[in-house]
């Protein structure tokens, strides 16, 4: 047979008959990489490359175009085309890593889950981790080593390094992002040994530095604060968003929600107090929330410390201190609560606050006996002495003074993120040789003489420590898409002037961790993703000598805060963080948990502040235009749309970093406003007095939720824990369901014949616990990753056509309009047994399956949108344009983003309706595997997990078979707080909710 | 005790000094005369607007329904509003021709041809929207029960499917009814026209009509039967269109009052549209003798009655929303009147409920100018009624977190405007080439048709009051 005939022909979505990526991959198959087949590692790479090309061709079903694909010549081990393979790895984020399990398909990583064995995630994830696959397949990632504007080869860079760094006496400045990688730290030490005149400084724009320094002030040592939120009965958060934007958010939420879970009236729940200037996710879940200006929080804390010092030892510095908060109602209540729960409480302050605040917090926790019980203080191996921000400023000044012959900037992007008064770009100019390693040809890379493209963590070897010190491995899932260098490979090249694979570098490091039977340990580590039994040592802390005097001095300097001054609080963003995720479409399109704004950053202000500035303090329904304001701090000015949000402290403006990029990537560019110009060495995160005026301009905002009041409807049902104990069935009792004959039964009257469900089929159901749900949106983005949901862009979201299959509704409630309570409610498809959508579809495109799913047949759908109209829950999403085609086939190399798609899920064409399927592809896989292994039709409880359920860090989502009366879901559905949203419509939803509980302090009612 | 009753005869249906011949001449001359200049201008404009419709529909099909202002909450917008509006307008034709025929309302003969033509063109305009509003227009035929190898049938519970049948049936029967009525008149035209092709074409459509006794007998029978068949359709079509809303679960849609309310509204808007067109045509073609002020008054009375029925329905909706005690429904109605779409609600109320009340006054009823203005106002109001029903209910339904304000795009507006191009293109062709008044039928209601008719002038004088004699002649 001729060569031609041996080819397999696949149908594919891709319009390009001649697929560039495939050609590249097949070229690589033999000639280029053939030599690497000798060692075991690269055999796998080979599989992955091949897998990628297979998967490319297999991408989804659609019409006409045909792609050619080569079959595998040798069937690789374990790989069954169409079946997923899972590998453990970790995601580095600042100076810690999160343990992950990555699902790969034919060599492509397509979905990320938490590693259940890993304490940093315990099987769940946050939005950044979920979005990491798209980060990998970001087409705007840097693809080449650049010398100036010219592409250079790795060999050229290697030669350059060998020559440039031959002189070991030269003065080199190393500016690095934070990293916990033992290999990186080993190489760093080697670098510092080899270049005695080198200076190494970490530049992490939003590090935990203040907390470390605070602990140093209090305990004499830079220690990491490790909270055990599950152990705490009372938690006081001072601007601390431990649920979302802290360094250990997933574990924090896990622990917090466990202490919050209430299964029966006997259970207790913790109590969370929040004192903050803007709504954080944490504050939105607080039982009591006080809004004060950020500048007042130190005062509040000092007043609290003063009150506590009357009863406990260790806070002598604060004794007799008084300020404007000393008589505040909260102080006495909190003091009583904290004193009653000594050893079972946590006080935490946000990273926005300075080290003195953190020192006070540390002292309070120590005084309350929380250190060692609810809080562990961990010794970090990689901690740098001194204030890193100051050191960075110092190094920048020296750069500008021409003191260095070369500068190496790794991972971090100081031209964008450094304080504006440092003029980092100018300083960089003064250095003869500058080398940059980064994912994107971003702000810094463009100004450097050499740019080396950096690998994504999913395509390179690496390692790191989790927040609490579990030594973890980062293993590649795929050959680097764009042939980049990992940070360890890069650093090694600088050090030795030659290329060594990351694999070898990491193994070399790990040999010291397991000198005996290294290969066995290594195999176990690769399998588990972590080394068993490792963690940072917890230190038994005591107050540092001189703390009392120092704190007393600080107190002496504290001045009252001008209530009327307009303060500006600058925070990291919940989607793009400090800007590093700005080119990720999933994250850009993800609504912020509080504002529900996508594709923008805004200046959050209170209604009173809006009136002060002279802009409307409320919006009409349907009016998505924001008034722009001009913020002037020092000599820097930024114009940004203002957004009135209840709960914001008066005279306090909150803005987030990371937006307003130029030349960073196609997604990021031009989105939002860059506020880094307002960041100075003195004011990294905060300006106490800024000038604000309205510009008169209006700006269109894409928000996914236009109305924030529940209008008194029983959608989210809540009660205090006391009310619940008095009336356990308060939630179902809130609404009378006509025709309900006995407790818990559903209405027996219906116009339509109820469907008969076969006995041997499982019946799927879901329950969402509103009590543990924190509203973080991890479910939304997990669903997006799992179900190939397209990114549609700001214009379409502005037209209110977002495609997310599970949205999180956020309502404000309570009597205080200026400081309301917040309710978060995830809403996926309810899979109603008497689904209103099914009754109105003229072509039977949406029907019920035997296992109780309300299913969409995309091929049959003609797009009348009647089903979406008739859905009381409004969960159906319509492809108004050919979103998927636009998303997956525009640009010169759409193959890259196509690789992120899940081959199990059909890609939807223009003009069809789509919605949550309960992850039917996972259900089917579970059923098939169960059938094959046990010959049963019903998968065992816990076999099938939906993507949202798996991602949820709060374990708020449960899913399972309702015919199994012992299953988790059946038990939850029998819970007395379980209720059906809009159950009175007799839609008989399969998704139910567990009512929210609050634990208010009776003294504050 | 004895009271003297004075016989007050009905006003003559045809005014002026007409006999059968002059009526035939009056009507049949129109297609034979040279095309008036205004016709060319109007036709040109209509064609341009029609081209616009084709343009925007092509754009829509190429780009997707996203070019309209629809969103996650409002899956239906102007397209469905326009559909219901045009279908509603299409109501007058069959009502006039079938129901008034069965009730022996002689005055219908002046306007029935006209109204039926309008019906057919309006239903054509309406029919465009359900077809183009779907996401995948290339498979829209799946709505029809076409046997296929997959045994896939439409979903018969869906009101949209009922719509397909209801509107399809209505269009077919209306067209048939219109054509049957046209047969004798086509024969007249065939006999009158000079041109060879015109003669052939009229002849073709007149189906060999000779005007024989037997033909008339069969004709009258079949016309009666068709009227009988068409009469229930008048009620059914808009009833079923209303089911699109009433059968759903959405507050503001899920209302049992919808069928009668929609039918009343449809008759209301249909008569208003006939009125608008009639007043123009009557002036342009000098048909004041046939379409008299008495006709206008009768139509205005129907507009008044149906308008008041619609107003009553509005009040009942509110009453039931309160009486039913469903909070979502209560909100939906209060929100209509006070919420973000209150402007639309009050335009609707003003146009539909308040404006027809002028017709309590006889002077206004008989005023051509007033009738013309109000007929247009009524149709604006009826468009807004459909807008209020469709959009306000969808934009703010059960879950406030999912609410979304609907704003139409330019394409929405142009598509609606474009349908007027289609409508007037056809309507102008109708005016130009077809007898716009049922010649045969109108003769049947003239005094001359009375077997007891003896002397034209005397009888005519008897029928008129003393004062009206003069005015009638002067026309």
Residue pLDDT, tens place only, A218-236: 888 889 999 999 989 999 9
Please list, in sequence order, all residues whose beta carbon lies within 8 angstroms of the beta carbon of residue A565, skipping any fewer than 6 positions away. Answer: A295, A651, A688, A689
- Residue reference for tokens 């899979």: A831
Report which of A561, A559, A518, A537 is spatially closest to residue A465, judged by C-alpha positions: A537
Could you give phi then psi for residue A152, rounded to 5 degrees?
-130, 160
DSSP conformational letter for A545 = T
Please list, in sequence order, all residues whose beta carbon lies within 8 angstroms of the beta carbon of residue A523, skipping any fewer than 6 positions away. Answer: none
Question: According to the 3-state scheme, what is the secondary structure of A916-976?
Answer: CCCCHHHHHHHHHHHHHHHCCCCCCCCCCCCHHHHHCCCCCEEEEECCCCCCHHHHHHCCC
Strand order in A957-961's β-sheet? A957-961, A764-769, A991-994, A978-979
In order of A154, A157, A494, A529, A860, the CA distances from A150 in angstroms are 13, 12, 20, 39, 52
Backbone Cα Rg of chain A: 28
Query: Chain A contact for B105, CB < 8 A?
Result: no
Return the bridge partners of A101, or none. A88, A113
Please list, in sequence order, all residues whose beta carbon lies within 8 angstroms of the beta carbon of residue B205, skipping any fewer than 6 positions away. Answer: B179, B182, B183, B186
Category of B208 on φ-ψ map: left (φ > 0), alpha (ψ -120 to 50) or beta:
left
Higher confidence at residue A835 or residue A51?
A835
Query: Chain A contact for B46, CB < 8 A?
Result: no
Distance from CA of B442 to the nearest CA of A (A): 44
Structure tokens at A358: 């953190």
- The answer, yes or no, to whether residue B128 has pLDDT greater than 60, is yes
Residue A184: Cβ-neighbour burial (10 angstroms; 0-12, 13-18, 19+): buried
Confidence class for position B306, pLDDT limits 50, 70, 90:
very high
- The answer, yes or no, to whether residue B224 has pLDDT greater than 60, is yes
Cβ contact A718:A995 at 8 Å: yes
Contact check, Cβ <8 Å, B71/A799:
yes
Cβ contact B358:B373 at 8 Å: no
Q: What angle do CA A448, A451, A457 make, to 5 degrees?
A: 130
* DSSP state letters, A866-927: HHHHT-TT---EE-SS-HHHHHHH-SS-THHHHTTS-TTSPPPPTT-EE---SSHHHHHHHH
- Considering only A683-687, A858-862, B448-452, which range has the smallest mean pLDDT? B448-452
To test the contact with chain B by mutation, choose from A589, A822, A842, A878 the residue with the greatest count of B C-beta atoms within 10 A, namely A842
Tens digit of each residue's pLDDT (9 = 90 or more) over A922-957 = 999 999 999 999 888 889 898 899 999 999 999 999
Q: Other C-beta atoms within 10 Å of A432: how many?
A: 10
Q: Looking at this predicted complex, what is its ipTM? A: 0.90
- Residue reference for tokens 């009823």: B365
What is d(CA A330, CA A157) in angstroms, rounded to the nearest whole number? 61
Cβ contact B23:B378 at 8 Å: no
Cβ contact A605:A653 at 8 Å: yes
Tens digit of each residue's pLDDT (9 = 90 or more) over A254-281 = 999 988 899 888 888 999 999 999 999 9
What is d(CA A203, CA A185) in angstroms, rounded to the nearest whole number? 15
Q: Any idea of the CA torsion for A647, A588, A956, A952, to the nearest 10 degrees? A: -140
Structure tokens at A308: 């506590």
What is d(CA A852, CA A849) in angstroms, rounded to the nearest whole number? 5
- Considering only A385-389, A440-444, A862-866, B129-133, which range has the smallest mean pLDDT? A385-389
SS3 B175: helix
Q: Other C-beta atoms within 10 Å of A41: how many?
A: 16
Confidence class for position A23, pLDDT limits 50, 70, 90:
very low
Report which of B82, B258, B159 is spatially closest to residue A864, judged by C-alpha positions: B159
Tens digit of each residue's pLDDT (9 = 90 or more) over B354-371 = 999 999 999 999 999 999
- The answer, yes or no, to whether residue A783 has pLDDT greater than 70, is yes
Structure tokens at A926: 């579970």
Distance from CA of A330 to the nearest CA of B (A): 32
Category of A60 on φ-ψ map: left (φ > 0), alpha (ψ -120 to 50) or beta:
left
Nearest-CB residue to A869 (from B75, B134, B340): B75
Could you give phi then psi for residue A497, rounded to 5 degrees?
70, 15
- The answer, yes or no, to whether residue A15 has pLDDT greater than 90, is no
Q: What is the pLDDT of residue B471?
A: 41
The mean pLDDT of A886-896, rounded to a whole number, is 81
Q: What is the pLDDT of residue A59?
A: 44
Nearest-CB residue to B401 (from A809, A872, A910): A809
Report which of A802, A807, A932, A952 is spatially closest to residue A877, judged by C-alpha positions: A802
Percent of chain A with pLDDT over 70: 91
Contact list in B for residue A869 (CB cut-off 8 A) is 74-76, 248, 250, 394
Percent of chain B with pLDDT over 90: 53
Structure tokens at B403: 């609410």
Tens digit of each residue's pLDDT (9 = 90 or more) over B462-474 = 555 544 444 433 3
Contact check, Cβ <8 Å, A800/B404:
yes
Distance from CA of B153 to the nearest CA of A (A): 7
- Please give the distance of CA A288 from its chain centroid, rounded to a whole number: 25
Nearest-CB residue to B161 (from A715, A842, A912): A842
Q: What is the pLDDT of residue A748?
A: 60
Confidence class for position A1005, pLDDT limits 50, 70, 90:
low
The mean pLDDT of A96-111, rounded to a whole number, is 90
Report which of A440, A408, A461 is spatially closest to residue A165, judged by C-alpha positions: A408
Tens digit of each residue's pLDDT (9 = 90 or more) over B323-336 = 988 889 999 999 99
Distance from CA of A998 to the nearest CA of B (A): 21
Nearest-CB residue to A911 (from B135, B250, B400): B135
Higher confidence at residue A392 or residue A7?
A392
Tens digit of each residue's pLDDT (9 = 90 or more) over A391-426 = 889 899 988 888 888 899 998 899 998 888 888 888
- The answer, yes or no, to whether residue A558 has pLDDT greater than 60, is yes
Please list, in sequence order, all residues whose beta carbon lies within 8 angstroms of the beta carbon of residue B5, skipping any fewer than 6 positions away. Answer: none
Report which of B352, B419, B415, B421 is spatially closest to residue B383, judged by C-alpha positions: B352
The mean pLDDT of B253-268, rounded to a whole number, is 90
Angle between helices A40-58 and A20-27 (to 10 degrees): 160
Helices (H), A570-715: 585-588, 607-613
Query: E strand or H helix at B416, and its extent?
Result: helix B410-433
Structure tokens at B437: 């008044």
- The answer, yes or no, to whether residue A668 has pLDDT greater than 50, is yes
Q: What is the pLDDT of residue A105?
A: 87
Q: What is the pLDDT of residue B473?
A: 39
Sign (positive or negative) of CA dihedral A139, A778, A923, A886 = negative
Report chain A's mean pLDDT, rounded to a whole number.
85
Report chain B's mean pLDDT, rounded to a whole number.
87
Please list, in sequence order, all residues whose beta carbon lies within 8 angstroms of the beta carbon of residue A475, skipping any fewer than 6 positions away. Answer: A87, A88, A89, A461, A526
Higher confidence at residue B13 or residue A510?
A510
- Please give the distance of CA A495 from its chain centroid, rounded to a whole number: 34
Tens digit of each residue's pLDDT (9 = 90 or more) over B262-286 = 999 999 999 999 999 999 988 888 8
- The answer, yes or no, to whether residue B133 has pLDDT greater than 80, is yes
Tens digit of each residue's pLDDT (9 = 90 or more) over A725-769 = 999 988 888 887 765 555 455 556 677 777 788 888 899 999 999
Q: Any idea of the CA torsion for A284, A285, A291, A295, to the nearest 10 degrees? A: -90
Nearest-CB residue to A874 (from B65, B72, B143): B72
Q: What is the pLDDT of residue B81?
A: 93
What is d(CA A401, CA A429) in angstroms, rounded to the nearest whole number? 10
Residue B292: Cβ-neighbour burial (10 angstroms; 0-12, 13-18, 19+): buried
Query: Chain A contact for B131, CB < 8 A?
Result: no
Cβ contact A646:A632 at 8 Å: no
Cβ contact A127:A778 at 8 Å: yes
- The answer, yes or no, to whether residue A822 has pLDDT greater than 50, is yes
Query: Chain A contact for B339, CB < 8 A?
Result: yes
Give the β-pairing of A172-176 and A199-202.
parallel
Query: E strand or H helix at B245, and its extent?
Result: helix B213-246
Tens digit of each residue's pLDDT (9 = 90 or more) over A893-912 = 888 888 888 999 998 989 99
- The answer, yes or no, to whether residue A167 has pLDDT greater than 80, is yes
- The answer, yes or no, to whether residue B408 has pLDDT greater than 90, is yes
Contact list in A for residue B403 (CB cut-off 8 A) is 621, 706-707
Structure tokens at A984: 């009175």
Q: Which residue of A has its CA nearest to B141?
A: A862
Please list, in sequence order, all residues whose beta carbon lies within 8 angstroms of the beta carbon of residue B301, skipping any fewer than 6 positions away. Answer: B359, B365
SS3 B412: helix
Tens digit of each residue's pLDDT (9 = 90 or more) over A28-37 = 443 333 333 3
Q: What is the pLDDT of residue A65?
A: 53
Q: What is the pLDDT of residue B50?
A: 95
Contact list in B for residue A793 (CB cut-off 8 A) is none
* DSSP state letters, B251-294: TTT--TTHHHHHHHHHHHHHHHHHHHHHHHHHHHHT-TTTS-HH
The mean pLDDT of A817-836, rounded to a whole number, is 91
Q: What is the pLDDT of residue A496?
A: 86
- The answer, yes or no, to whether residue A137 has pLDDT greater than 80, is yes
SS3 A293: coil
């Amino acid at each position: 047979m001729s060569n031609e005939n041996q080819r397999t022909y696949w149908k594919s979505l891709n319009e390009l008959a001649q697929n560039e990526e495939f050609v590249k991959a097949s070229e690589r198959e033999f000639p280029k990489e053939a030599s690497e087949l000798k060692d075991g590692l690269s055999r796998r790479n080979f599989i992955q490359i091949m897998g990628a090309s297979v998967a490319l061709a297999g991408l989804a079903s659609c019409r006409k175009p045909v792609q050619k694909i080569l079959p595998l010549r040798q069937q690789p081990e374990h790989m069954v085309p169409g079946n997923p393979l899972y590998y453990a790895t970790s995601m580095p984020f600042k100076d810690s890593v999160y343990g992950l399990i990555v699902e790969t398909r034919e060599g492509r990583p397509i979905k990320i889950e938490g590693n259940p064995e890993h304490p940093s995630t315990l099987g769940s994830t946050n939005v950044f981790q979920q979005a990491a696959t798209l980060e990998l397949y970001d087409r705007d990632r840097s693809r080449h080593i650049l010398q100036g504007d010219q592409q250079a080869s790795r060999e050229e860079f290697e030669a350059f390094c060998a020559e440039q760094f031959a002189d070991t006496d030269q003065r080199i400045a190393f500016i690095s992002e934070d990293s916990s990688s033992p290999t990186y730290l080993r190489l760093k030490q080697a670098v510092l040994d080899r270049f005695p005149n080198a200076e190494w400084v970490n530049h992490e724009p939003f590090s935990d530095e203040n907390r470390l320094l605070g602990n140093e002030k209090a305990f004499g040592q830079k220690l990491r604060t490790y909270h055990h939120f599950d152990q705490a009965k009372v938690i006081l958060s001072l601007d601390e968003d431990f649920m979302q934007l802290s360094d250990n958010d997933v574990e924090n939420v896990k622990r917090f929600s466990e202490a919050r879970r209430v299964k029966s009236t006997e259970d207790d729940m913790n109590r969370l107090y929040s004192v903050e200037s803007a709504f954080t996710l944490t504050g939105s879940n607080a039982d009591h929330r006080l809004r004060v200006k950020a500048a007042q929080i130190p005062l509040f804390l000092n007043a609290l410390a003063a009150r506590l010092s009357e009863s406990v030892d260790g806070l002598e510095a604060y004794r007799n201190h008084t300020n404007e908060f000393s008589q505040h109602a909260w102080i006495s209540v909190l003091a009583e609560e904290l004193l009653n729960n000594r050893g079972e409480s946590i006080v935490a302050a946000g990273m926005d606050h300075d080290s003195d605040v953190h020192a006070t917090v540390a002292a309070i926790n120590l005084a309350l006996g929380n250190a060692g019980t609810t809080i562990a203080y961990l010794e970090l191996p990689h901690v740098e002495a001194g204030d890193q921000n100051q050191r960075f400023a110092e190094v920048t000044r020296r750069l500008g003074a021409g003191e260095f012959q070369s500068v190496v900037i790794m991972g971090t992007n100081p031209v964008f993120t450094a304080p504006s008064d440092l003029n980092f770009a100018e300083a960089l100019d003064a250095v003869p040789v500058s080398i940059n390693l980064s994912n994107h040809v971003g702000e810094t890379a463009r100004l450097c003489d050499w740019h080396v493209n950096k690998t994504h963590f999913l395509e390179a070897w690496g390692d790191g420590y989790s927040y609490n010190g579990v030594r973890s491995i980062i293993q590649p899932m795929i050959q680097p898409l764009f042939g980049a260098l990992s940070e360890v490979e890069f650093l090694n090249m600088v050090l030795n002037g030659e290329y060594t694979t990351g694999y070898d570098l990491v193994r070399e490091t790990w040999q010291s961790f397991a000198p005996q039977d290294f290969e066995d340990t290594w195999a176990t580590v690769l399998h588990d993703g972590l080394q068993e039994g490792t963690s940072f040592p917890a230190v038994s802390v005591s107050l540092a000598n001189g703390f009392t005097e120092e704190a007393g001095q600080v107190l002496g300097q504290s001045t009252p805060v001008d209530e009327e001054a307009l303060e500006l609080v600058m925070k990291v963003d919940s989607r793009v963080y400090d800007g590093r995720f700005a080119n990720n479409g999933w994250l850009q399109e993800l609504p912020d948990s509080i504002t529900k704004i996508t594709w923008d950053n805004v200046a959050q202000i209170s209604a009173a502040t809006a009136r002060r500035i002279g802009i409307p303090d409320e919006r009409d329904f349907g009016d998505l235009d924001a008034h722009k304001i001009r913020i002037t701090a020092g000599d820097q000015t930024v114009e940004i749309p203002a957004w009135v949000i209840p709960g914001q402290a008066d005279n306090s403006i909150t803005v987030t970093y990371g937006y307003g990029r130029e030349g960073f990537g196609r997604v990021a560019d031009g989105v939002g406003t860059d506020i880094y110009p307002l960041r100075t060495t003195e004011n990294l995160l905060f300006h106490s007095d800024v000038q604000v005026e309205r510009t008169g301009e209006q700006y269109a905002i894409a928000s996914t939720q236009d109305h924030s009041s529940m209008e008194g409807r029983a959608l989210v049902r809540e009660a205090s824990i006391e009310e619940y104990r008095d009336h356990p069935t308060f939630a179902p009792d809130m609404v009378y369901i006509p025709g309900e004959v006995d407790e818990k039964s559903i209405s027996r009257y219906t116009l339509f014949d109820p469907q008969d469900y076969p006995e041997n089929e499982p019946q799927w159901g879901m329950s969402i616990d509103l009590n543990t749900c924190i509203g973080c949106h991890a479910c939304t983005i997990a669903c997006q990753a799992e179900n190939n949901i397209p990114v549609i862009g700001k214009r379409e979201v502005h037209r209110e056509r977002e495609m997310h299959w599970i949205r999180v509704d956020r309502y404000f409630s309570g009597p205080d309009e200026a400081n309301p309570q917040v309710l978060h409610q995830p809403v996926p498809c309810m899979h109603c047994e008497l689904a209103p959508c099914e009754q109105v579809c003229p072509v039977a495109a949406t029907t019920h399956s035997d296992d109780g799913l309300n299913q969409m047949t995309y091929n049959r759908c003609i797009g009348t949108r009647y089903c979406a109209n008739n859905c009381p829950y409004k969960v159906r999403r319509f492809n108004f344009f050919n979103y998927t085609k636009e998303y997956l086939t525009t640009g010169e190399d759409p193959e890259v983003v196509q690789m992120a798609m899940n081959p199990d899920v059909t890609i939807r064409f223009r003009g069809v309706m789509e919605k949550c399927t309960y992850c039917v592809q996972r259900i089917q896989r579970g059923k098939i595997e169960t059938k094959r292994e046990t010959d049963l039709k019903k998968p065992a409880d816990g076999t099938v997990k939906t993507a949202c359920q798996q991602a949820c860090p709060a374990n708020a989502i449960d899913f399972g078979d309702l015919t199994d009366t012992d299953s988790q879901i059946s038990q939850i559905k029998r819970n007395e707080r379980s209720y059906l949203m809009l159950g009175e419509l007799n839609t008989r939803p399969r998704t139910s909710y567990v009512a929210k509980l609050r634990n208010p302090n009776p003294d504050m009612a | 005790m004895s009271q003297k009753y004075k016989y007050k005869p009905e006003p003559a249906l045809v005014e002026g000094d007409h006999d059968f011949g002059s009526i035939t001449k009056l009507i049949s001359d129109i297609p034979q005369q040279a095309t008036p200049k205004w016709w060319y201008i109007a036709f040109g404009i209509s064609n341009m607007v029609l081209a616009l419709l084709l343009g925007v529909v092509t754009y829509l099909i190429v780009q997707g329904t996203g070019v309209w202002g629809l969103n996650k909450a409002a899956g239906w917008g102007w397209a469905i509003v326009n559909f219901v509006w045009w279908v509603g307008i299409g109501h007058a034709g069959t009502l006039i021709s079938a129901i008034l025929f069965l009730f022996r309302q002689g005055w219908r003969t002046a306007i029935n041809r006209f109204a039926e033509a309008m019906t057919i063109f309006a239903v054509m305009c309406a029919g465009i929207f359900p077809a183009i509003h779907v996401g995948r227009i290339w498979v829209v035929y799946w709505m029809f029960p076409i046997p296929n190898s997959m045994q896939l049938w439409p979903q018969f519970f869906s009101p949209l499917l009922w719509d397909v049948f209801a509107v399809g049936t209505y269009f077919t029967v209306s067209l048939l009814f219109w054509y049957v009525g046209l047969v004798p008149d086509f024969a007249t035209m065939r006999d009158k026209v000079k041109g060879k092709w015109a003669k052939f074409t009229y002849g073709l459509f007149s189906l060999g009509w000779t005007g024989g006794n037997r033909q008339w007998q069969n004709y009258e029978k079949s016309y009666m039967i068709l009227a009988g068949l068409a009469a229930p359709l008048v009620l059914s079509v808009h009833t079923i269109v209303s089911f699109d809303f009433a059968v759903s679960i959405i507050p503001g849609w899920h209302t049992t009052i919808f069928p009668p309310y929609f039918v009343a509204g449809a008759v209301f808007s249909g008569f208003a549209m006939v009125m608008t067109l009639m007043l123009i045509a009557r002036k342009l073609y000098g048909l004041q003798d046939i379409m008299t002020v008495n006709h206008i008054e009768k139509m205005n009375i129907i507009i008044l009655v149906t308008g008041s029925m619609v107003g009553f329905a509005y009040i009942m909706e509110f009453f039931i929303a309160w009486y039913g005690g469903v909070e979502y429904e209560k909100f939906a109605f209060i929100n209509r009147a006070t919420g973000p779409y209150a402007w639309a609600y009050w335009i609707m109320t003003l146009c539909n409920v308040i404006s027809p009340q002028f017709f309590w006054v006889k002077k206004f009823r008989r005023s051509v100018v007033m009738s013309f203005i109000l007929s247009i106002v009524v149709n604006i109001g009826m468009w807004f009624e459909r807008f209020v029903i469709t959009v306000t209910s969808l934009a703010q339904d059960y879950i406030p977190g999912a609410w979304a304000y609907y704003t139409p795009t330019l394409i929405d507006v142009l598509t609606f405007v474009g349908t007027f191009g289609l409508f007037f293109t056809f309507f102008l062709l109708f005016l130009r080439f077809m007898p716009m008044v049922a010649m045969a039928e109108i003769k049947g209601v003239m005094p001359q048709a009375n077997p007891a008719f003896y002397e034209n002038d005397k009888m005519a004088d008897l029928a008129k009051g003393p004062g009206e004699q003069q005015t009638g002649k002067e026309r």
